[in-house]
Chains A and B, each alone.
Chain A
Amino acid sequence: MSGTEQLLTVRGLRKYHRTAAGRVHAVDGVDLDIAPGEVLGLVGESGCGKSTLGRTLNGLDAAEEGSIRFQGAELVGLGRRALRPHRREMQMVFQDPFGSLNPRDSIGTILQDPLRVHAVGRRGERRSMAAALLERVGLRAADLDRYPHEFSGGQRQRISIARAIALRPRLVICDEAVSALDVSIQAQIVNLLRSLQQEFGLSYLFISHDLAVVGYLSDRIAVMYLGKIVEIGPKASLLERPRHPYTRALFSALPGRGGGRAERQALRGEPPSPLDPPQGCRFHPRCPMAVERCRVEPPAPRELAPGHAAACHLAA
């Protein structure tokens, strides 16, 4: 885990939200790596901090502490202007297909914006580049002159994806990119993402609460709980044998997985308030196997199988 081969190396990343009630530790000491061409799935319940993690990596939220190394360059502490060349290589796709396109801009303008900002191509060339992008994501070049409201949710998400890949980035952060879509449309968009990944050698950080989609698309999966990554590992290893009790509970909620009723573990209660996270292991109040040690000592991640680590005292 030296990070020299990695596209993205994150260490000890912290991001707080200041609210009237106090500081919320949305991202509280996250370590992760993404290799070139790799898809890392990030799962967790809503409110666990996975969207904030994505936004912090992209520089939309400023990190409080820690390090984000992207292609060898440190991003934490960089200002807007200094960040710009790196942004070209790291793009984002948002969840809401109805909110992520400016209703007053034509599709042509929306797709040419990234090219214009980074001075890619001459004025006349950009339109044909935008047309090619649109065709690549399965829409027609004639759609350039239409406006966002004329498209369905799935089509809009295709446009968002076209915008994200316009600059040929190395990494695309997909924040719940298919969660707002109908299941049949979801499959189309997921397949589009996969074919783009293969064509351009993209890496994805694929943030979702939908384990089925994450399992299909990812090479590795990270599980987040209350601002921390509790388990991370290769997809096969993690799906076959989840080590952390939280991961097991999350997976057993999936239909067709985890066998019979006896094996299914329902999570007790709601996740605790991130304003006042529990002492020790953050999962212990809901954990079926918690012991005294879990109440006092926060567990450090331990590698339990090659590349597969879990932050649990009891996991083996």
Chain B
Amino acid sequence: MRMPPALRRFLRQPAAVAGALLLLAVIALAASADILYPEDPFEIVGRPYLPPFSGEFLLGTDTLGRDLASGIVHGARVSLLIGALAALVVTAIGVLVGGAAGYLGGKVDALLMRLTELFQTIPSFLFAIVLVAIMEPSLEALLIAIVVVSWAPLARLVRAEVAGLRSRDYVQSAIAIGMGDAGVLVRQVLPNALPAILVAASVMVATAILFESGLSFLGLGDPNVMSWGLMIGAGRSAIRTAWWMSGIPGIAILLTVLSINLVGDGLNEALNPRAAGAA
């Protein structure tokens, strides 16, 4: 059986493999949340302020007596969901805008790039806070805010890739053959831009998770959904006496974002080998 060379290059990196395993563990945890902790994570189930390893409460309880472990597991769902959806939408917009700008060039390019610059000049976290404050706090609002503040850098990246690839001889020869714009873009240009896009999208997952946590910490998240940021925010007032209430969700964010970044770096190494060319 032959392994694709990119996969082989990925598996050769211990950090990337560790990141992938960690990420898989988080995904497994999120997927089995309803089996592990079928009850609502907002339910008050025990005495408040229980430290980790207190009987049935593996990670302790918070100021109201809610099970932290249940919160972590259910929060993983929210984080991964927001991260994945945001990355997907941002990538779609980025490919559309950046692809059009880079491939068509000229006035379209100038117009779209001025638009991305407009979005890039606004400090993104502040912008996200404003957007969420305007909308009803909900997961959709978070998602929209994250997408609006994050699409521009990806569009620029795709534009640079596409513009660079457009001048390659194989793209030129596809045009010379008579292939239409859509065919050239979809069959010749984008497949070769895919590695860079994939790497950027994976980093976008991590960024979106941080955004969600940050906004939820400030109380701008969906109040009906247990998330890591919300847990940190709730435990903040007791941080001197019960560090675990905000410390444990913090560690969860750290490990998840770290794992995604490790995977992203590994993908970058595997898909864009700088000393490339030869097999």
Q: Which chain A residues have a beta carbon within 8 Å of chain B's beta carbons?
A: 55, 58-60, 80-81, 83-84, 87-88, 91-92, 94-96, 98-105, 113-114, 117-118, 149-150, 160, 163, 167
Q: Which one of A80, A94, A104 lies within 8 Å of B169 (CB-CB)?
A: A94
Interface presence of B191 (CB below 8 A): yes
**Do A149 and B278 contact each other (CB < 8 Å), given the known contacts A100-B169, A104-B191, A117-B183?**
yes
Q: Which 4 A-B pairs have the closest CB atoms?
A: A100-B169, A94-B169, A87-B178, A84-B178
Interface presence of B12 (CB below 8 A): no
Q: Please name the residue on chain A nearest to B181 by beta carbon.
A: A80
Q: Find the residue from B170, B180, B277 having the highest chain A CB count within 10 A.
A: B170
Contact A149 B279 (CB under 8 A): yes
Interface presence of B175 (CB below 8 A): yes
Q: Please indicate the chain B residues that have their CB under 8 angstroms from the CB of A59 in the complex.
A: 176
Bitwise, B46-62 to A at CB < 8 A (1) or not (0) is 00000000000000000
Closest-CB distance, B100 to chain A (whole angstroms): 16
Q: Which of B147-193 contact A (CB under 8 A)?
A: 168-181, 183, 187-188, 191-192
Q: Find the residue from B169, B175, B187, B277 having the highest chain A CB count within 10 A.
A: B169
Q: Please indicate the chain A residues that have their CB under 8 angstroms from the CB of B170 in the complex.
A: 99-103
12 new A-B pairs (CB below 8 Å) besides A87-B178, A102-B170, A104-B192? Answer: A58-B176, A92-B172, A94-B169, A94-B172, A94-B173, A101-B170, A102-B171, A102-B188, A114-B177, A114-B178, A117-B179, A149-B277
Q: Which one of A88, A96, A99, A102 lies within 8 Å of B178 (CB-CB)?
A: A88
State the total of A-B contacts with C-beta under 8 angstroms: 65
Bitwise, B253-279 to A at CB < 8 A (1) or not (0) is 000000000000000000000000111
Q: How distant is the Cα of A91 from the Cα of B179 in the complex, in angstroms?
A: 13
Q: How distant is the Cα of A98 from the Cα of B174 in the complex, in angstroms?
A: 15
Q: How distant is the Cα of A52 from the Cα of B128 in the complex, in angstroms?
A: 48
Q: Which one of B168, B177, B191 lies within 8 Å of A113 (CB-CB)?
A: B177
Q: Which one of B175, B192, B279 lies within 8 Å of A150 (CB-CB)?
A: B279
Contact A60 B175 (CB under 8 A): yes
Contact B178 A118 (CB under 8 A): yes
Q: Please name the residue on chain B nearest to A84 by beta carbon.
A: B178
Q: Please name the residue on chain A nearest to B170 by beta carbon.
A: A102
Contact A100 B173 (CB under 8 A): yes
Closest-CB distance, A193 to chain B (whole angstroms): 17
Closest-CB distance, B257 to chain A (whole angstroms): 31
Contact A117 B169 (CB under 8 A): no
Q: Which of B177-231 contact A (CB under 8 A)?
A: 177-181, 183, 187-188, 191-192
**Do A99 and B168 contact each other (CB < 8 Å), given the known contacts A92-B176, A114-B177, A118-B178?**
yes
Closest-CB distance, B109 to chain A (whole angstroms): 14
Q: How distant is the Cα of A113 from the Cα of B172 in the complex, in angstroms?
A: 13
Q: Please indicate the chain B residues that have their CB under 8 angstroms from the CB of A113 in the complex.
A: 174, 177, 179
Q: How distant is the Cα of A55 from the Cα of B169 in the complex, in angstroms?
A: 11
Contact A160 B179 (CB under 8 A): no
Q: Please name the residue on chain A nearest to B168 by beta carbon.
A: A99
Q: How distant is the Cα of A160 from the Cα of B173 in the complex, in angstroms?
A: 9
Q: Please indicate the chain A residues that have their CB under 8 angstroms from the CB of B176 in the complex.
A: 58-60, 87, 91-92
Q: Please name the residue on chain A nearest to B173 by beta carbon.
A: A100
Q: How distant is the Cα of A114 from the Cα of B174 in the complex, in angstroms?
A: 8
Contact B192 A80 (CB under 8 A): no
Q: Please indicate the chain B residues that have their CB under 8 angstroms from the CB of A87 in the complex.
A: 176-178
Q: Please name the residue on chain B nearest to A115 by beta carbon.
A: B177
Q: Please indicate the chain B residues that have their CB under 8 angstroms from the CB of A167 in the complex.
A: 177
Closest-CB distance, B14 to chain A (whole angstroms): 27
Q: Please name the residue on chain A nearest to B171 by beta carbon.
A: A102
Q: How distant is the Cα of A229 from the Cα of B98 in the complex, in angstroms?
A: 40
Closest-CB distance, A256 to chain B (whole angstroms): 33
Q: How distant is the Cα of A88 from the Cα of B177 in the complex, in angstroms?
A: 7
Q: Please indicate the chain B residues that have their CB under 8 angstroms from the CB of A105 in the complex.
A: 187
Q: Please name the residue on chain B nearest to A90 by beta carbon.
A: B176
Q: Please indicate the chain B residues that have their CB under 8 angstroms from the CB of A91 in the complex.
A: 176-177
Q: How distant is the Cα of A96 from the Cα of B175 in the complex, in angstroms?
A: 16
Q: Please indicate the chain A residues that have their CB under 8 angstroms from the CB of B279 in the complex.
A: 149-150
Q: Find the residue from A55, A59, A81, A99 having the highest chain B CB count within 10 A.
A: A99
Q: Please name the residue on chain A nearest to B189 by beta carbon.
A: A102
Q: How distant is the Cα of A101 from the Cα of B192 in the complex, in angstroms?
A: 12
Contact A163 B173 (CB under 8 A): yes
Closest-CB distance, B274 to chain A (whole angstroms): 15
29 contacts between A and B (CB under 8 A): A55-B172, A59-B176, A84-B178, A87-B176, A91-B176, A91-B177, A92-B172, A94-B172, A94-B173, A95-B169, A96-B169, A98-B277, A99-B169, A100-B170, A101-B170, A102-B171, A102-B192, A103-B192, A104-B191, A104-B192, A113-B174, A114-B177, A114-B178, A117-B183, A118-B177, A118-B178, A149-B277, A160-B173, A163-B177
